[in-house]
Amino acid sequence: MAFHTINGRSVAYRLLGAEVNPLVVLAHPLGMSQAVWDDVIPALLSRYRVLTWDLPGHGASQAVSGEQITPADLAEEALALVKLAGAQRFHFAGTSIGGVVGQQLIAEHGDRLLSATLTNTGAVIGNPDLWNTRAGRVRQEGLATMSQEIVPRWFAPSAFEESPALKAGWCTQMGRGDDESYAQLCEMLGRDIFTGKLSGKRVKVQLFGGSEDMATPPATLEALSTELDGAPLEIFADVGHVPPVEAPALFAQKLLAVLAADLGDVANHGVAYTNGLETRKQVLGEEHVERSTANANSLDAPFQQMITRLAWGELWSNNDLTHRERSMITTGILAALGREELALHLKTAKRIGLTEAELRQVLMHVAIYGGVPAANHAFALAKELGWGE
């Protein structure tokens, strides 16, 4: 876990995975922490970089200091961390109040989103009286006491049957939160709604909910779908308010399908140029791609477009292999053939996160199957580029 100061307040976050992979930002529910994603993250890391963080006064993030919290404030936190990660565009997934952060991003920063997956949330959640009453009770009774009442509403009965310690664990987690931060977020949910703010934003959105969710029942998600111009909605059977905790394998499978959906029907229609360009920038770096594009003239501009569509769209954007695996294959082939682009892909291998041991094995395979002189040249070039001690 790391910390970053945003608007004078310390925010706890995690940034996991290779820098070259597309960024996925995950936002947790009210009263919980970024730990809700722990069982989902491993399924993402082979293909995506993952950013999670703790909301104000939750987990290890510093509490608020009296100011009124708005959805714009929470979205600003997310964007500040995205900037820290060095990303321009990103995928977003958020549950409950995390989904409210997603709605704010859709409404005001849709051009930054590659996709938005919103779960167990709504354009309107509950009503102001309910939230203001809860805020008052939290200030008077404290989260440790209130957690005994709130936590059971998060999960389907079957979740407690499968994991008897679930309630006690999350009551402990919730009880460690800051009362005032939680109360202010309650008041925000009662005050700031998204009715009429989400239509026509041209963001790819997927909605998920739980059949046993008492906080944001399926009807709330259906209303949100309408606000989002009919965004697709799937309700998970026998799941409550927090699918990443209750059904992490299912949720990860569904989320991965959303993240990969840009590839579309590759066999029949191919990959769009923009998808290939996005992947090319992620793997090679924006500076290299911009330089290649700027140097193109009437002779080779069509060639640059072709390799962006084919090499980076059809091939590197395909999820059957990870970028790490493709880097090893590409480096081996270029080394065996002695091609000029070997230097570029040796640099790329370092960006992707190949270890010295992995590169050594790639080049030793070249020696056996492609020839010792080719491998010797590749080893020498790799050392010139900073590989090895």
Question: Which pLDDT tens digit goes with each residue over 262-314?
Answer: 554 444 556 678 778 888 888 888 888 888 888 888 898 888 888 888 888 88
Q: Which pLDDT score, from 0 to 100, does residue 264 have? A: 47
Q: Which pLDDT score, from 0 to 100, does residue 187 have? A: 96
- CB 247: neighbour CB atoms within 10 A? 23
- CA 143 to CA 172: how far, in whole Å? 10
Domain that holds residue 89: 2-259
Question: Which pLDDT tens digit goes with each residue over 19-33?
Answer: 888 899 999 999 999
Residue 162 lies in a domain: yes
How many angstroms from the chain centroid is the CA of residue 310?
Answer: 26
Of 243, 259, 275, which residue sits at a domain end?
259
Together in a domain, 89 and 108: yes
Together in a domain, 312 and 274: yes
Together in a domain, 211 and 78: yes
CA 165, 166, 170 angle in degrees (round to 5)?
A: 120
Q: At 318, which amino acid appears?
A: N
- CA 117 to CA 195: how far, in whole Å? 18
Q: Which pLDDT score, from 0 to 100, does residue 270 have? A: 63
pTM of the model: 0.83
Both tokens of residue 287? 């500076």
Both tokens of residue 127? 């009503």
CATH number of the structural domain spanning residue 62: 3.40.50.1820
Together in a domain, 213 and 272: no
Q: At 202, which amino acid appears?
A: R
CA 285, 287, 291 angle in degrees (round to 5)?
A: 125
Together in a domain, 173 and 45: yes
Residue 389 lies in a domain: no
Of 220, 235, 259, which residue sits at a domain end?
259
Please report which residue ranges of 142-247 form alpha helices under DSSP H.
143-150, 157-162, 166-175, 179-191, 218-227, 243-246
Together in a domain, 91 and 190: yes
Of 259, 274, 290, which residue sits at a domain end?
259
Which of 342 and 47 is assigned the larger pLDDT? Answer: 342
Strand ranges across the sheet with 2-6: 2-6, 9-16, 49-53, 23-27, 90-95, 113-119, 205-210, 233-236
Question: Which pLDDT tens digit goes with each residue over 212-267?
Answer: 999 999 999 999 999 999 999 999 999 999 999 999 999 999 999 999 865 544 44
Together in a domain, 333 and 229: no
Together in a domain, 222 and 284: no
Q: Which helix (H) or strand (E) holds 378?
A: helix 372-384
Domain total in the chain: 2
- CA 184 to CA 139: how far, in whole Å? 10
Together in a domain, 150 and 281: no
Helix-strand-coil percent breakdown of the chain, rounded to 5? Answer: 55, 10, 35
- CB 135: neighbour CB atoms within 10 A? 21
Residue 19 lies in a domain: yes
- CB 66: neighbour CB atoms within 10 A? 7
Q: Which pLDDT score, from 0 to 100, does residue 98 have? A: 98
Together in a domain, 321 and 378: yes
- CA 71 to CA 75: how far, in whole Å? 6
